[in-house]
């Protein structure tokens, strides 16, 4: 079986044959399957077998350097999940230029799953066999000890195979590897590397230990003159949800979920799904892809028993062996189910009854209007967003401005003139909605939209106060989540709404009530469209014949 066929088999087993895997891995596999289908239809990216086989055969010649495999003089055999990732990273090329598709790979997997040895081999491939003249490969970390976690096995792979080193003319030095004839080199880098390097491949190890973007930014900016550079980030989860690694983790999850589109970033994340018990060996096995290979089940069982008895050991176990961000809020929506919940467009509901809700934000921020229709036992929801044009010019690369630019041109993304929210445009849009559809009521939060509600009421729109508190938001949040899983809540596939929904974190109280929240108050990722959607669903639930127990208090007609 070819490596590409093995990768597709892995993806199919995960997506269709119930091979145990986290939702994040299922998303990566579905992305691969979709990409293959698009490639067969003549899409931009295509898989090149020769490139993949070259990498895999090179890795297969790398000798093990420690443990039972080294004692038997065995060479590296890729596990199925490693074949899948390697095929993705090296197999996809631009159909027109023949250059590699992915410029960045993010692999988050628990400890002891063989990632350092694997990436040492990949580093050696870029150093000696990728064909980039004057190649520069760096293994970077915050400390010398960590930087050597990848570089040491990379160096020893050549030491233990003199014939291979002679074949590629590799000079093994104490602190670097070199090929004198071409000027290729491979070496560790510690802390802030500074400018001047021109990496063809940079491997950043245990990114969770980094307190700034310095190393990543320096490596990426130095890659500008390389045709096929690759930045590889490998890490386990950590406890700093305010650090750059957690930001990168969130960004990669959004790429997998489809809320952010970036064809140049490959991501593979092994972590527990929401609802998985951390103290269960079934969960441990699901999130450790090398379970029973490089990960000793008996060792993990012992670590788990200790974690059950000790709070500090529990945190260490959950971050290092379950790859779980301790202290991070949990995402609200199952985005795999959300992506599968595409339904009709809003034009299919002309003249039909609906409830609408408006979420008016700050004067220089996004405002949204959601409309939700009932169709038998199913609900269909749609969102429109209003952003002042002046807001598009604000911020740096970590603000949503670039994301907004991706939505520009969508029918439901309305850029209004000026620097502040155009309430007149929102009022006109709601009046137009009421002419095309039977708007039974418009929900609004009193402190945000009292004046707008008074004007709309004067125009004949039935406006209903809907306070955005736990009492009013929890039930519809749970209802939407359950209906999405049951395929009874639909949307039109709009990337804008998917972005809003994917940004929502579920904030729970001691009574298991839910409330929509951002990851943190300074996060640029907006949730406004999801908030107004939840409000519009809450209005449906307030109807007497809805058939669901719900507390209606807090809503009244104006």
List the helix and strand counts (H, then E) for the chain.
20, 21
DSSP string, 20-37: ---HHHHHHHHHHHHHHH
pLDDT for position 194? 65
Q: Which ranges of 335-469 would DSSP assign to H, the alpha helix?
A: 335-339, 401-407, 423-436, 446-458
pLDDT for position 497? 93
Sign (positive/negative) of CA torsion 2, 5, 7, 10?
A: negative
Please give the torsion angle defined by the CA atoms of residues 18, 19, 24 and 27, in that order, rounded to the nearest 10 degrees.
-60
Q: 154 near 121, Cβ under 8 Å?
A: yes
Three-state DSSP state, 334:
coil
CA distance linking residue 28 with residue 87, whole number of Å: 13
The residue length of the chain stands at 558
pLDDT for position 334? 81
pLDDT for position 401? 62
pLDDT for position 399? 47
Which of 265-296 are b and which e, b meaning 16 or more Cβ less than 10 Å from the residue's Cβ?
bbbbbbbbbeebebeeeebbebbbbbbeebbe
Sign (positive/negative) of CA torsion 307, 311, 313, 314?
A: positive
Q: 118 near 167, Cβ under 8 Å?
A: no
Phi-psi region of 42 (alpha: psi -120 to 50; beta: other; left: phi over 0): left
Per-residue model confidence as pLDDT tens for the chain (558 residues): 899 999 999 999 999 988 899 999 999 999 999 999 999 999 999 999 999 999 999 999 999 998 888 888 889 999 999 999 999 999 999 999 999 999 999 999 999 998 999 999 999 999 999 999 999 999 998 888 888 999 999 999 999 999 999 999 999 999 999 999 999 999 999 876 666 688 999 999 889 888 888 888 889 889 988 999 999 999 999 877 667 898 899 999 999 999 888 999 999 999 999 889 888 999 999 999 999 999 999 999 999 998 887 655 787 898 999 999 876 566 788 887 888 899 999 999 999 999 999 998 666 678 999 999 999 999 999 999 999 887 665 544 444 566 677 788 899 999 888 878 888 999 999 999 999 999 999 999 877 678 888 999 999 999 999 999 999 999 999 999 999 989 999 999 998 998 899 888 888 776 778 899 987 777 778 899 999 999 999 999 998 766 543 343 344 444
pLDDT for position 147? 86
Q: Which domains does the chain have, with CATH numbers?
A: 3-269 (3.40.50.300), 340-557 (3.30.420.240)
Sign (positive/negative) of CA torsion 403, 256, 149, 156?
A: negative
Distances (CA, A) of 154 to 74, 125, 150, 176, 180: 16, 10, 6, 10, 18
Structure-token match 């990632």, residue found: 115
């Amino acid at each position: 079986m070819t490596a590409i066929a093995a990768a597709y088999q892995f993806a199919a087993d995960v997506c269709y044959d119930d091979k145990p895997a986290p939702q994040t891995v299922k998303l990566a596999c579905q992305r691969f399957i979709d990409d293959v289908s698009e490639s067969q239809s003549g899409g931009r990216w295509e898989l090149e077998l020769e490139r993949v086989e070259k990498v895999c055969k090179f890795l297969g010649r790398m000798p093990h350097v420690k443990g039972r495999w080294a004692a038997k003089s065995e060479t590296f055999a890729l596990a199925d999940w490693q074949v899948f990732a390697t095929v993705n990273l090296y197999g996809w090329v631009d159909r027109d230029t023949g250059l590699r598709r992915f410029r960045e790979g993010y692999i988050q997997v628990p400890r002891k799953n063989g990632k350092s040895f694997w990436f040492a081999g990949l580093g050696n491939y870029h150093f000696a066999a990728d064909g980039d003249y004057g190649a520069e490969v760096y293994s970077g970390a915050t400390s010398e000890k960590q930087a050597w976690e990848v570089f040491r096995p990379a160096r020893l792979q050549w030491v233990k195979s003199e014939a291979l080193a002679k074949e590629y003319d590799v000079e093994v030095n104490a602190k670097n590897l070199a090929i004198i004839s071409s000027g290729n080199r491979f070496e560790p880098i510690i802390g802030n590397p500074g400018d001047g390097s021109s990496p063809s491949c940079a491997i950043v190890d245990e990114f969770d230990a980094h307190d700034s973007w310095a190393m990543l930014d320096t490596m990426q900016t130095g890659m500008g003159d390389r045709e096929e550079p690759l930045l590889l980030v490998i890490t386990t989860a950590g406890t700093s949800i305010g650090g750059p690694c957690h930001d990168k983790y969130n960004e990669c999850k959004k790429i997998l979920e489809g809320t952010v589109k970036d064809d140049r970033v490959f991501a593979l994340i092994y972590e527990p799904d929401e609802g998985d018990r951390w103290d269960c060996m079934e969960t441990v096995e699901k999130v450790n892809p090398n379970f029973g290979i490089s990960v000793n089940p008996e060792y993990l069982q012992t670590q788990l028993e200790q974690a059950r008895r000790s709070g500090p050991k529990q945190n260490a176990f959950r971050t290092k062996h379950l790859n779980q961000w301790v202290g991070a809020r949990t995402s609200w929506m199952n985005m795999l189910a959300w992506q599968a919940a595409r339904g009709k467009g809003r034009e299919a509901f002309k003249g039909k009854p609906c409830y609408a809700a408006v979420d008016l934000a700050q004067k220089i921020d996004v405002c949204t209007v959601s409309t939700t229709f009932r169709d038998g036992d199913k609900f269909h929801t749609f969102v429109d967003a209003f952003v002042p044009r002046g807001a598009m010019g604000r911020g740096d690369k970590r603000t949503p401005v670039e994301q907004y630019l991706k939505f520009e041109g969508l029918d439901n993304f309305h850029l209004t003139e000026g620097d502040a929210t155009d309430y007149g445009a929102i009022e006109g849009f709601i009046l137009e909605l009421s002419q095309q559809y039977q708007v039974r009521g418009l929900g609004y939060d009193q402190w945000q939209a009292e004046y707008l509600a008074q004007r709309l009421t004067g125009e004949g729109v039935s406006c209903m106060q809907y306070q955005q508190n736990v009492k009013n938001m929890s039930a519809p949040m749970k209802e939407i989540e359950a209906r999405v899983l049951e395929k009874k809540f639909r949307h039109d596939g709009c990337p804008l709404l998917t972005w809003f929904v994917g940004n929502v974190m579920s904030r729970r109280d001691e009574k298991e009530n839910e409330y929509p929240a951002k990851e943190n108050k300074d996060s640029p990722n907006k949730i406004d469209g999801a908030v107004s959607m939840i409000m519009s669903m809450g209005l449906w639930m307030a109807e007497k014949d809805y058939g669901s127990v719900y507390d209606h208090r807090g809503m009244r007609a104006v």
